[in-house]
Chains A and B, each alone.
Chain A
Amino acid sequence: MNKREQALSLLLLVLSVCASGCAPVAAWERGNLAKPQMALDPYPMLNEMRGHNYSSREAVAGGSSSGGGGCGCY
């Protein structure tokens, strides 16, 4: 199994776990999930800047599909 297949199967695993095992969370039970600290990215502006720094110093590019960022050739 190559790396790509591994990645795909891991994603499918997460999917299938949730399809069977995730307890349904009713609408009125989602107050905590709505808190700002629970946002997937609580500091988008800060994290974008950090991501730009990492990608100018590390071999693995951002991985997001937004594009841009410049050369970082320093």
Chain B
Amino acid sequence: MAVTEMKARDNHTPEPVEPLPDNAFRQPKRNLLSRTTKSRILVSNSPALQALTAAALVLPGLMLSPLAAAEDDEVGLQYSHYQEGKRNLFSDVPNNRNPIEVDSIHGGARMTLYDRVKFAFNYTQDTWSGATPVTTAPKVFVGNQPISFAGSVSGASPMILRQGGQVFVDKNFNPAQFVSTDPDTGIQVFSKDAQLVHTLSVASPETRKQGDFKLSYEWDEAALDVGGGISVEKDYESRFVNLGSRWDFNQKLTSLNLGLSYTNSDTNALIDHDAQTYIDKNAYLNSGQLKIIPTGTFLQSNRQDWATNLGLTQILTKDALIQASIGYTRGTGYMANPYKVMEVLFVDPNQVLDCGDFFCDGRPADILQADLKAFLEKRPDVRNQWSLSTRYVQYLSFLDAALHFDYRYSHDDWGINAHTFEADWVQPVGNDWTVTPRLRYYSQDAADFYQPYLVINQPAAGATDYQKLPASYSSDQRLSGYGALSGGISISKQFAKGVSLETGFEYYTHAGNLKLGGGGEGNYADFNYYVANAALKVNLSALGYGGGAGDHSHHEHHHGVPVPAGVMFGHMMDKPGEIMVGYRYMYSTQAGNMLRGSDSVADQTIVNQGCGVAVVDKCFLTPNNMNMHMHMLDIMYAPTDWLNLMLMPQFVDMNMTMRRLDGAPPDAAAGDKGLHIEHHVDAGHTTGGVGDTGMYALFKLFDTPGHRVNMTLGVTAPTGDVGIMLRRNHTVDGGFIHYGMQLGSGTWDFKPSLTYTGQIDQWSWGAQFSGTKRLQDKNSSGFAFGDILQSTAWGSYSLFNWLSASVRGVYTVQGAVKGEFNGLIEKLGPMDYTNNYGGKYWDVGFGVNAFVPSGDLAGNNLSFEWLQPVVTDVNGYQLDRNGALSVNWSYAF
């Protein structure tokens, strides 16, 4: 057994029959290996065969089936940015609204809980905003009409409101446009243009958060897992459970997979405020799905999805494997999109020529008048979907590359057949770099009920018009016929001890004329997007295999003094060449009383003094609570023993709820912007995305046993967006969202700090002075946050060699906002005024710090700290603070 174990751990030992692969980190846990090996060895008698079998069995692929081969203990973090290109509106109106963009982060961990029991959890968060199509109509009906603000065109309306809904078509219902009136005959001249065009609507930033988990058990030749999760957004909540199993047989050449899942989702969508009277909701009146309140209409409904999947994985040769699976998904309930509307043209084909050869209103005989109305789209409430997929993987030994081919066919009873082809070329290029180019092609038929717009061969009658519509109708481009071609590349680098970095880029183009067999949707619906991503993975299973036991003491050495989780730059690495990766999370929450200075203040005082003087400028709203989450990636490198370089990208998201102030004037007193108040109170505000990026250099100034001083000089680059605006509502522009909910400072900021740490026996302590100096007077949106000065001191006691507890005091001073938004801001509450920012704060922090000194997870450090506000003395009028949580995980290698 000892021999086997040594081989399992030493990936450089030459093996007489077949060299061991260079990816020993993918080997399963040692205890599992030992047990399996033991059982196999019992059946083989010859010592030679025994050795051979033992050696072969340490090959990772043998222990687990191909499907499960990557199931090592692992922590992963990923960021991605999705950016759509602008749509072609075939219009002279400038399309100056930003298209949809999505920032996503994903963090996940998979770990062995006990022996064969594994647990995995994932957290995903997406924040999106931007303009997206809501409907389609002929261009001559003139959607996307310009909206002017302060003399300049600020956007385009999502509504098509031509001459009270009246439009023109010819006898064959082709759209026509009035050009001029012939001065001689008095007869009107019309042009015909069949060009279709989307109308767009803009979404304010919204965030989706998803958490899920999976618990699994491994047998020698089978596995079972159960999982579940929840995905939450303001207008949609989805809960799901799943069950998966795997059986290996035929000497593990074959695996059978069976999966089953159930998803239950609720929609609670506020139908577009901005187009409240424009969208006809009558078709839903008797559905029980509408909730009408004075200021808006909500669509509330449920859907359920059952999915099952049966797959077979087969090793074909020593260089190839294939997986084939069939899937069936059944969806029931509300499966439409509450933000998409269908344009319907009502035409009376028997319009009477009242003036001889032409109409008395001047139209020639072949031009008919029509009514154009917009209806919330409807889809069938059942969808059955079948799919067949195959994946083929071929090893190319002369390149050491793997070629992946995937094909998927899908068919459903909405009439959509789809084909997906994918090819990935995974090419290791030396020094643990891997480059993977990729190509994907997708093509689908249109759904049976898809139409860009509908023509109804009857005059419009009013409230009962919906009765003339088909049972289902949608103009969502996702249900049209089209093809999509995408290509991309991903690059990964495997560092020592299981740490790997990954980055990728993909460009995607959707076009009607890319549809397989032709006949796709017109080019007005074409669009493209790109996605860029970056990921960090730490393979925890590999940590124990990467080096001998002697390596672990090295981690103990560099760990140094425990520093509370909320303190940055408190720790430097000593060994040249060392790298540390870490993740910091900070959550801060504000709620409770509104403060003036350090005293709570009555609503009436805020109304009168917190905002402007004129009635229209008074405070109408005040924040009720505000939460901020920051996710920071911490990458540190030590080129020498006295200098460490650090890069810190950040991802932030914030949400705020608001309430009306008691004693505030009625909403109408605020003028047009008063129309937003109801919506602010109902829905609150959300923002999220990439924050500012920090770049720092840490210098060791002083280092004797027990005492250390280091200095940090750095800047943050203004990568966080400071131009986030609220969407237009009730035909009133939203303007910039509050200063404090922008994602960054917008300015280049200088961030120096000086840190002292000391340690005797179990006791350690430290102090730090730090500052933030804005290097610019104002950012691209016209303002700059105030400078910050902070001093802190702490003491810590090691309860065990792996765990310490800390207490800390913090004093912070921050100035008010300088300058002001250089565009529209609808000021409704104290958070929209620059002098209500900044203040002086005292906090006390309580923390714990856990460090793994040895064993498989040596070098990992996890710490938590809660900061409890003690004294809050704000500038102007601000919401009280509840506290802040910091979590810090780091791993040095």
Contact = CB atoms under 8 A, between A and B. Distances in A.
Contacts of A3: 386, 411
B402 interface: yes
B212 interface: yes
B78 A45 contact: yes
Interface stretch (B310-318, B570-578, B787-795): B310-318
A1 interface: no
B409 A7 contact: yes
Contacts of A4: 386
Contacts of A50: 506, 531
A48 to B, nearest CB: 8
A65 B59 contact: no
Q: Is the interface of B mostly helix, strand, loop or mixed?
A: strand
B297 interface: no
B624 interface: no
Given A35-B21, A70-B208, A74-B132, A46 B308 contact: no
Interface string B38-66: 00000000000000110111011110001
B389 to A, nearest CB: 7
Interface in B375-419: 385-391, 393, 395, 397, 400-402, 404, 408-412, 414, 416, 418
Interface in B474-532: 478-479, 484, 490, 492, 502, 504, 506, 508, 510, 529, 531
A28 B20 CA distance: 10
A53 B323 CA distance: 23
Contact of B233 (A43, A49, A68, A71): A71
Please classify the interface of chain A as helix (H, G, I), strand (E, B), loop, or mixed, using the class held by over half of its residues: loop
B254 interface: yes
Contacts of A36: 23, 26, 70, 434
Contact of B447 (A31, A46, A54, A59): A59
A21 to B, nearest CB: 9
Given A30-B61, A32-B397, A57-B478, A70 B210 contact: yes
Most chain B CB within 10 A, of A53, A54, A59, A70, is at A59
A43 B61 contact: no
A65 B426 contact: no
A18 B314 contact: yes
A10 B388 contact: yes
Given A3-B411, A38-B395, A74-B132, A68 B387 contact: no
Contact of B261 (A26, A46, A53, A67): A67
Interface in A20-74: 22-46, 48-50, 52-54, 57-61, 63-71, 73-74
Interface stretch (B100-108, B182-190, B837-845, B883-891): B100-108
B423 to A, nearest CB: 13
B86 to A, nearest CB: 15
A49 B478 CA distance: 19
Interface in B25-44: 26
Interface residues of A, number: 57
Nearest to A35: B21
B324 A60 contact: no
Given A59-B447, A60-B444, A32 B318 contact: yes
Contacts of A60: 385, 387, 410, 412, 416, 418, 420, 444
A7 B407 CA distance: 13
B253 A37 contact: no
A37 B59 contact: no
Contacts of B19: 31
B263 interface: yes
B796 to A, nearest CB: 35
A37 B426 contact: yes
Nearest to B535: A45
Contact of B253 (A11, A24, A64): A24
A71 to B, nearest CB: 4
Interface residues of B, number: 130
Nearest to A73: B337
B395 A59 contact: no
A37 B240 contact: no
A45 B504 CA distance: 12
Nearest to B386: A4
A64 B260 CA distance: 9
Nearest to A36: B23
Contacts of B52: 28
A8 B411 CA distance: 13
Contacts of B259: 64-66
Interface in B248-284: 251, 253-254, 259-263, 265, 267, 269
Contacts of B869: none
B349 interface: no
Contacts of B227: 66
A22 B429 CA distance: 31
A14 B256 CA distance: 13
B318 A63 contact: no
A54 B229 CA distance: 21
Instruction: Among B324, B400, B436, B502, find the residue whose CB has the most chain A CB atoms closer than 10 A.
Output: B324
A66 B307 CA distance: 8
Given A4-B386, A74-B132, A63 B263 contact: no
A67 B319 contact: no
B583 interface: no
Contacts of B490: 43, 46
Contacts of A63: 307, 309, 327, 329, 387, 389, 408, 410
B242 A73 contact: no
B334 to A, nearest CB: 11
B502 A66 contact: no
B771 interface: no
A45 B120 CA distance: 13
B388 A67 contact: no
A71 B426 CA distance: 32
Contacts of B106: 45, 48-49
B242 A66 contact: yes
A40 B210 CA distance: 25
Contacts of B337: 73
Given A14-B314, A27-B251, A35 B395 contact: yes
A34 B238 contact: no
Nearest to A21: B316
Give the 10 A-B residue pairs with the shortest CB-CB distance, closest first.
A67-B240, A34-B61, A65-B259, A28-B56, A71-B236, A37-B402, A37-B426, A7-B388, A29-B318, A30-B61
25 contacts: A7-B409, A11-B326, A18-B316, A25-B315, A30-B318, A31-B18, A31-B20, A32-B319, A33-B319, A35-B402, A37-B428, A38-B66, A40-B393, A42-B436, A45-B78, A46-B502, A57-B508, A59-B416, A60-B385, A60-B416, A65-B242, A67-B241, A69-B210, A69-B231, A70-B233
Given A27-B56, A64-B327, 13 more contacts: A7-B387, A31-B318, A35-B21, A38-B321, A39-B69, A42-B404, A46-B78, A48-B106, A52-B126, A60-B420, A61-B329, A63-B309, A68-B212
Interface of B: 17-21, 23, 26, 52-53, 55-57, 59-62, 66-67, 69-70, 76, 78, 80, 82, 100, 102, 104, 106, 108, 126, 128, 130, 132, 203, 208, 210, 212, 227, 229, 231, 233, 235-236, 238, 240-242, 244, 251, 253-254, 259-263, 265, 267, 269, 305, 307-310, 312-319, 321-327, 329, 337-339, 385-391, 393, 395, 397, 400-402, 404, 408-412, 414, 416, 418, 420, 424, 426-428, 434, 436, 442, 444, 447, 478-479, 484, 490, 492, 502, 504, 506, 508, 510, 529, 531, 533, 535, 537
